[in-house]
Chain A
Amino acid sequence: GNSVTQMEGPVTLSEEAFLTINCTYTATGYPSLFWYVQYPGEGLQLLLKATKADDKGSNKGFEATYRKETTSFHLEKGSVQVSDSAVYFCALKDGGATNKLIFGTGTLLAVQP
């Protein structure tokens, strides 16, 4: 079945450091890929998405490129801020009609001043 694997956290970085959170997926067909972010005490919210191979999603300085050859969708940011501290979830939706999302386990990012 479809699944998402992301790196375990926590990831602890200093402000302005470079961030990478790895995400790989297993899916039949051509899934759409997403990154969601969860700030403390809140629900998840969409950060970025990519719907086909080689697409790059970007938002708030974060980027992720849909790599079909490596079945990956790694999240990157060139310079993190304290306000980026949150839990980040990679997710996929298969190409069928359903809107069901399959989430990874989440990666906690802690950015220190």
Chain B
Amino acid sequence: DAGVIQSPRHEVTEMGQEVTLRCKPISGHDYLFWYRQTMMRGLELLIYFNNNVPIDDSGMPEDRFSAKMPNASFSTLKIQPSEPRDSAVYFCASTDSVTGNNSPLHFGNGTRLTVT
């Protein structure tokens, strides 16, 4: 199993540009999470999906952020327009509900976003 795959690993962009982060969850997992990690705020849950449906997006900071999951094997997190304060490491994680309510989250290696 290749694990959760995120791309790109690093993204540097200028303020005002659109940024799209991508995630491929582990095959068979029905939950997908997007987290943001910064030194100041730690690890924040932005949004999560169950069976491709957004369940809780209360952590999305503002309307500039949007996330989609068009199918079970792909999700995107988009920031438009990007701002310097969006600079962070963005993690995608997946898990399944089949093995029980305490199945672990499997994280990707993250995308380090720098907005200048």
Interaction A to B: yes
Which A residues have a C-beta under 8 Å from some C-beta of B?
Answer: 32, 34, 36, 41-46, 49, 51, 89, 93, 95, 97-106
- Count residues of chain B with CB under 8 A from any CB of chain A: 24
A44 touches B31 (CB 8 A): no
- Inter-chain contact B109/A43, CB cutoff 8 Å: yes
Say which one of B11-19, B67-75, B97-105 lies at the interface with A. Answer: B97-105
Give me the interface of B with A, judged by CB distance under 8 Å: 4, 31, 33, 42-43, 45, 48, 50, 55-56, 91, 93, 95, 97, 101-110
B104 touches A34 (CB 8 A): yes
Residues of B within 8 A of A45 (CB): 106-107
Q: How many angstroms from the CA of A102 to the CA of B109 in the assembled complex?
A: 19
Binding site of B, secondary structure by majority: helix, strand, loop or mixed?
strand
Give the docked Cα–Cα distance between A101 and B28 (Å): 20
Choose one: B50, B55, B102, B105; the contact of A44 (CB below 8 Å). Answer: B105
Report the nearest B residue to A47, measured CB to CB.
B104
| Residue numbers in A under 8 Å from B45 (CB-CB) | 100-102
- Which residue of chain B lies nearest to A46 when distances are taken between CB atoms in the complex? B104
Residues of B within 8 A of A34 (CB): 104
For this complex, 28 residue pairs linking A to B, each with C-beta atoms less than 8 Å apart, are A32-B101, A32-B102, A36-B105, A41-B109, A43-B4, A43-B107, A43-B108, A44-B43, A44-B91, A44-B107, A45-B106, A45-B107, A46-B104, A49-B102, A93-B101, A93-B102, A95-B101, A97-B101, A98-B55, A98-B56, A99-B48, A99-B50, A99-B95, A100-B33, A100-B45, A102-B45, A103-B42, A104-B42
List of B residues within 8 angstroms of A43 by Cβ: 4, 91, 93, 107-110
